[in-house]
Amino acid sequence: MSSRSFAEYRAMFALGERDLDGVVLDCAGGASGFVAEAAAMGVRALAADPLYAHGAGVLADRLAADLEQGNAMISANAERFVWRWYGSPERRSELRLRARKAFVADLRRRPGSYVAASLPHLPLAGGSVDLVLCSHLLFTWADRLGREWHRAAITEMSRVCRGEVRIFPLVRMGDGEPVPFLGALLDELRGEGLACAVREVPYEFQRGARHMLTVTRHH
């Protein structure tokens, strides 16, 4: 479970001010500093993740170990990361720690906004949110989650969304390579009546991961 901040999400998803006017779903939220910080700014933000079933106490204990594990993985694979956006490992850790604190506090304050759920099923009504942001789940773990799972997950996020689904990144965590089934998956989604586009974003950490996928239902 990782913890990313509002600043990281704003860059990864090229968020403009108007993008956050409606209801925003972070799926999978993890330790969503984004949702906590957005809510503090008055954004109607919620998150979905299977780990929310454990409650704030268990998650708070687990987060320190998860951050250390992430840092160790980055140190062991230093050639696969670029620091232009963060500036330094210290700045990244600082953002993560702040995001983690904001998440735990918001989870305690607004538990109803953190929904325990596993893709490809979301317990939300059709068209009930305006923007879905999906960071570091789809494509990231494509060595374990196959094309059919991705198709079902994207179809489900599009079902609950009146506006746009944005997914970042489009490369695998294991080797930083593009997902081989991306083209075929986009063809299938277009066949379901979804409009798909790949857009460059002003963020890069995994070398070469500079693009998000946007998916919208034709209305």
Ligand X SMILES: C[S@@+](CC[C@H](N)C(=O)[O-])C[C@H]1O[C@@H](n2cnc3c(N)ncnc32)[C@H](O)[C@@H]1O
CB of 135 to ligand X, least distance (A): 3
In the complex, minimum distance from the CB of residue 27 to ligand X, in angstroms, rounded to a whole number: 6
For ligand X, which is the closer residue by CB, 26 or 188? 26
Of 190 and 199, nearer to ligand X (C-beta) is: 199
Binding mask 53-92 for ligand X (x = CB under 6 A): ----------------------------------------
Nearer to ligand X, 30 or 163 (CB): 30
> Which CB, 83 or 187, lies closer to ligand X?
83
CB count within 10 Å of CB 79 equals 7
DSSP string, 138-194: TTTTTTTS-HHHHHHHHHHHHHHEEEEEEEE--B-TTT-PBPTTHHHHHHHHHHTTE
Tell whether residue 216 is a contact of ligand X (CB under 6 A).
Answer: no
Q: How far is CA 33 from the centre of its chain?
A: 11
Q: Which residues pair with 194 in a beta bridge?
A: 217
Under a CB-based contact definition with an 8 Å cutoff, are residues 140 and 105 in contact? no
Indicate which single residue of 7, 40, 51, 152 sits in contact with ligand X (rule: CB under 6 A): 51
Chain contacts with ligand X (rule: CB under 6 A): 1-4, 28-30, 49-51, 118-119, 135-137
